Amino acid sequence: MMEPIEYDTRRVPSWSWMAYHSGIQYMDIPFGKVDWIDNLRFDKERQHALITDVGGFRDCRTEQEVEQEGKHYAVLDFGRIKRGWILYDVEEREDLCKEYCVVVGKKSKKDNDKMEGGNRLNIQEYYILVVRPTSVVDEYRRVGVGLIKSDYVPRQRLNVRVV
């Protein structure tokens, strides 16, 4: 498990590169190829927290990807078709039904249409932070990043904190 850095004077959010000794994982997102979500905002009361919406994972599970090292998992539907992937920052993995996600961006529409031959169902690919609840109601912490099809992450809670 990654060891958090203890600061004497302030709290650093779990989604920050300054949170852990060994660092957190970032995604390689090509410049200009993502539409960023605009409902992420800093909490006015707790400046280290983000206010956003969280979604759950629908009808899917994770399986470690053999060709990848470490904490890289495929997100599979019940037919074992890959619907996305998750790269965890933490060692312990939960059942995907207990994990949540924050959508931070989506592949730009023109890129999705090119890749999928014109997306008639309007299914997009979301860039996500994978989060878990803390002991505080409506508060979550980052445990990884990923990319997943939009129809597998329905929105579940509005205006929660990610610390």
Instruction: List pLDDT tens digits, range 62-113.
Output: 888 766 666 789 999 999 999 999 988 777 777 888 899 999 999 987 655 5
- 3-state SS, 129-142, equals EEEEECCCCCEEEE
Lowest mean pLDDT among 5-9, 29-33, 41-45, 123-127: 5-9
- According to the model, what pLDDT value does residue 70 have? 60
Who has greater pLDDT, 3 or 58? 58
> Where are the domains positioned within the chain?
34-162
- According to the model, what pLDDT value does residue 14 have? 62
Mapped onto helix, strand or coil, the DSSP state of residue 113 is helix
- According to the model, what pLDDT value does residue 11 have? 67
Asked if residue 46 lies in contact with residue 161, where contact means CB atoms within 8 angstroms, the answer is yes
Query: How many CA atoms are closer than 13 Å to the CA of 123, on its beta-carbon side?
Result: 14
The C-alpha atoms of residue 143 and residue 140 are separated, in whole angstroms, by 9
